[in-house]
Structure 1
Amino acid sequence: MRILKPAARSYKDAINALNSLQSNFASIEAMKKLGPNVNRNELSINEVHEYIRRLGYKTRDFDKLNIIHVTGTKGKGSTCAFTESILKQYKFNANDQNSNIKTNPINKLGLFTSPHLKTVRERIRINGNPINESKFTKYFFEVWDKLSSTSSSPDEFPSLQPCETVKPMYFKYLTILSFHVFLSEGVDTAIYEVGVGGTYDSTNIVQNPTVTGISSLGIDHTFMLGNTIDSITWNKTGIFKKNCPAVVSNQLEYPESLKIIEQRAKEIGVSSLDIVDEDLLPSSIKLGLAGKFQRQNASLAAKLASIHLSKLGVPQNELPDLESTDVDVLPDRFIEGLQNANWDGRCQIISNKPNFENIDWYIDGAHTLESIQVSSSWFKECMDDKLQSRNDLKILLFNQQSRENTKELLLKLYENIILKGVKFDHVIFTTNVTWSDGNYNSDLVSLNNSKELVDKLTVQKDLAQSWSELDQANNSDSRKHIFPNIETSVNFIKSLTNDVSDVNVFVCGSLHLVGGFLVVLDNERD
């Protein structure tokens, strides 16, 4: 790939270079066939350590970031969003006469998360905002050029040869880039969401986090983590560190995982292990993220934030007494943080959008059985709470392109919505292609799926057939539609609303679908 000279490089050049680092579909399929215990180099963090060395960093440099490290299967992103929102209330402001370094110990707050919805810059945030295009471009090519001009031992790292051309894969590169950005920008508190697993995840080069957290666990990424809750739990607990506190959500779906968590905490030597329930928080608090299940994530976030702030020197009287069983009041700043938390694409409702005034969009990225369970239950609750008119219309927009258990996900959604009394008039299956001309926004390009299957709409046809069989078995009659891209799907939905006063659309499935949908809804073309 041709890389332009520094003066001519643009944000688009950076995105094109980044997209070149994606695994293609064939390589992913080949790795899956090797099984979970083979080819550990793809999963290990040894290469990340080596790339960090070539950038001139040592892992102890990251201690300056005061990292909160979070993993899980379901809810880890929401937990990070709640945690970020709480910590924003403790950011130091030199212009605020009431602000002081003791009670506001954070100067710059970083968040590294994945995946992104509309732009890759969402993954690297400072003080709640994605870094801008110019900074992303600057730091992206600083890393790129440094890795192009340094080398690794051929004997120790044969997979990194030739060093001037071999670069980290997509997620590894963004992880490394985030460390470089945060250190360069003077971030002094950072929240890191694990990509996949924990033990072998690229983020797990962090040696001294202030606290680690695990949200709800479930079965996911089985070709990398194993297909049992035991192996998945073992992998997720790999972020635990000696002499570092750990906080874990109560595991309601898989309570047997708690025993493994406790064993691993003891083996690794964590300084403390707290299991938190949703009743850690007062029931009167209205959370910024919708869905009853978010109380569990908010409770985990509150505990993580409290431990972190205590380590930064915030006086105990400024922090919640979460050890008490009769807590009924939180500090105002915790309450504001929990109420103001925002996480697009997760149980998000958009209403009165220009050109779509009579449509309520219910949007949730859900890609595991556990997340489909809570997502579909959330939509069902929304419909139950809403006063329906006789002339209302309910529509499902769905895709899950790359999951091996896609039909199981669809069945879970059907059981939680259709079999519980809410009927879809139209069910739409689309690909994740953004626009009707067959193009993606450059930030949304994915090489991790079979282009042939996408072009032939193979997954979409299979899903429509599965839905038809479910309808037939349950005497239901939703109208099924298959479209090759998101823009066409959205335009079709709009065409259905001309004579209808109340339209409810459930956009569910892949976060890639959700991100592309939000781009189309806002008409944000490259």
Structure 2
Amino acid sequence: MTAAEVSEAAQEIEKLLALHPKGFDLSLDRITRLLAALGNPERRLPPVIHVAGTNGKGSATAFSRAILEAAGYSVHVHTSPHLVNWHERYRLGARGGKGRLVSDPVLADAVRRVAAANAGQKVTVFELLTAVTFLLFAEHPADVAIIEVGLGGRYDATNVIARPACSVIMPISLDHQAYLGDRVELIAAEKAGIMKRGCPVVIGHQEEDGARDVLVETAERLGCPTSVYGQDFMAHEEYGRLIYQDEGGLADLPLPRLPGRHQYANAAAAIRAVRAAGFEVPEAAIEKGLASVEWPGRLQRLAGGKLSHHGPAGAEIWIDGGHNPGAGQVIAEAMAGFEEREPRPLFLIIGMINTKDPVGYFQAFLDLAEQVFTVPIHGSDAGLDPVALAADAASAGFETNATSSVAEALGLIAELTQEDPVPPRILIGGSLYLVGNVLAENGTPPQ
């Protein structure tokens, strides 16, 4: 996709951003009105797997897509936010092969039609872009659509699907408290809002008993066939293999291509979800899906590119968009696993927005990372000043250094470690916006 092609859809969306609120205003009234003006495309979708959760929903979406495509199904996928280009939010299924990001002319046309149908009425940009999802997915045939919730669940703009083939709730932790509540039970109740009476529900691994109890109670009240991780399905590593189990028996599978032990439970939820949704997925397709799955910006290793050259020679550079304490814990666990296999000094390069809990995020890396470098985020008005973020890292117990860019931070780490016998391991993260900045500057956007 050339820069000129990208710009057509981007220009149409920029027009919307200039006219309508960019943030969230949780309600279903506006999206319902808009979809009616479009002829209710949400009623003409293929079977939908609807995915919510604080952490892991993107991974569950990626695993589900990879498994279904390996089994020969054509799969539409909606995710948000994007990392570099708006097109990443819309992947259109292809018969007998991998789906592709929507082409620029098709996306630009859909955006224009949605804007025209809205006729200037009050609406948020996320609602407009969600309407684009339903329009695209209704007009392009596919066997299944995987739709990721934007924020929460109950009043998220995606929650107009009357009869999902399966609702999936991934791990829940504190995030977006201003919108969803300040206790995991309240957040779980919001995310449980995507469950529909009598429709299958898969509940992924929940660290918090309170969250799991709310989800199970809601599913039971709605009469949903329910599968709960650790009770009805589970997965663990054994001799370098992933052992998955549900009522159908055991499956001996390859470890997921996505790194980190937390991905075992995410993969298990995806396997259970596609089965609960009624799709036939032979074990060979699951094996192929786990081995081929891709999820940009989540524990993704930068193997080259313009930006990586600023770092130390031989450094291992990872990026991850996780941005809350729960995500910090699973990312830190993954880094600890890398350390066990191949010891290297770990440095953090972090940028965050002002709605997050920086201290809680940083605390997950205590006794693991040597130093924190903070950076600004481009493209978000909510980015924390690097000096303020460095103060948060210091209060969590780290030696810190506020810098003006990721390139500068990488250069400083190169200077610090130039005499070290082992090149360092570097994690760049704290925000999906920052990860998008890095992928764009590195010249390696998602495809």
- Normalising by structure 1, we get a TM-score of 0.73
Task: Check whether the contact 1:121–1:132 (CA below 8 A) recurs between aligned residues.
Answer: yes
1:332-481 matches, within 5 Å, as 332-353=284-305, 356=309, 358-388=314-344, 394-413=346-365, 415=366, 419=367, 422-424=368-370, 426-433=371-378, 445-447=379-381, 449=382, 459-471=385-397, 478=399, 480-481=400-401
Letter in 1 for 2:134: F
Residue from 162, 187, 208 that aligns with 1:207 = 162
Letter in 1 for 2:117: K
**In structure 1, distance between residues paired with 2:152 and 2:115:** 26
CA shift digits 1:28-57 (9 cap, x unpaired): 6xx9xxxxxxxxxx3111111100011122
Letter in 2 for 1:483: T
- Aligned alpha-carbon RMSD (Å): 2.6
Residue from 17, 20, 33 that aligns with 1:19 = 17
Counterpart check, 1:519 vs 2:445 = no
Task: Check whether the contact 1:117–1:512 (CA below 8 A) recurs between aligned residues.
Answer: yes
**In structure 1, distance between residues paired with 2:44 and 2:444:** 41
**In structure 2, distance between residues paired with 1:218 and 1:469:** 22
Counterpart check, 1:144 vs 2:127 = no
1:189-338 matches, within 5 Å, as 189-251=144-206, 253-270=207-224, 272-277=225-230, 278-279=234-235, 280-281=244-245, 282=251, 284-310=253-279, 314=280, 319=282, 331-338=283-290
| CA gap 1:258/1:469 in 2 versus in 1, 3 angstroms | closer
Letter in 2 for 1:504: R
**In structure 2, distance between residues paired with 1:379 and 1:23:** 38
CA shift digits 1:456-497 (9 cap, x unpaired): xx63212222333554xxxx7x4x332334454455556667
**In structure 2, distance between residues paired with 1:130 and 1:340:** 17
Residue from 387, 403, 428 that aligns with 1:483 = 403
Task: Check whether the contact 2:192–2:215 (CA below 8 A) recurs between aligned residues.
Answer: yes
CA shift digits 1:201-241 (9 cap, x unpaired): 11100001111111111121111111122211111111111
Q: Please name the residue that 1:74 is paired with.
A: 55
Task: Check whether the contact 1:11–1:137 (CA below 8 A) recurs between aligned residues.
Answer: yes
Q: Which runs of 5+ in 2 are unaligned?
A: 1-6, 94-98, 236-243, 246-250
1:162-201 matches, within 5 Å, as 165-166=120-121, 168-201=123-156
**In structure 2, distance between residues paired with 1:145 and 1:496:** 55
**SS at 1:244's partner residue?**
coil
Identity of aligned residues (%): 24
Letter in 1 for 2:40: Y
Give the number of aligned pairs: 413
Q: Which runs of 5+ in 1 are unaligned?
A: 1-8, 32-41, 92-105, 149-164, 320-330, 434-444
Counterpart check, 1:114 vs 2:80 = yes
Task: Check whether the contact 1:49–1:205 (CA below 8 A) recurs between aligned residues.
Answer: yes
- Normalising by structure 2, we get a TM-score of 0.85
1:489-508 matches, within 5 Å, as 489-490=409-410, 492=412, 502-508=423-429
**SS at 2:168's partner residue?**
strand
**In structure 2, distance between residues paired with 1:90 and 1:167:** 42
Task: Check whether the contact 2:359–2:395 (CA below 8 A) recurs between aligned residues.
Answer: no
| CA gap 1:129/1:499 in 2 versus in 1, 3 angstroms | farther
**SS at 1:274's partner residue?**
strand
Q: Please name the residue that 2:96 is paired with.
A: none
The answer to which of 491-500 and 503-512 deviates more is 491-500
| CA gap 1:17/1:495 in 2 versus in 1, 3 angstroms | farther
* Deviation for aligned residue 1:266: 2.5
Task: Check whether the contact 1:114–1:193 (CA below 8 A) recurs between aligned residues.
Answer: yes
Task: Check whether the contact 1:22–1:446 (CA below 8 A) recurs between aligned residues.
Answer: no
**SS at 2:154's partner residue?**
coil
CA shift digits 1:361-420 (9 cap, x unpaired): 1221111211111111211221231154xxxx643100112224222222233x2xxx2x
**SS at 2:364's partner residue?**
helix
* Deviation for aligned residue 1:199: 0.9
CA shift digits 1:216-272 (9 cap, x unpaired): 111211111111222111111111112211111242x112333322221122232x1
Highest Rg: 1 or 2?
A: 1
| CA gap 1:18/1:498 in 2 versus in 1, 3 angstroms | farther
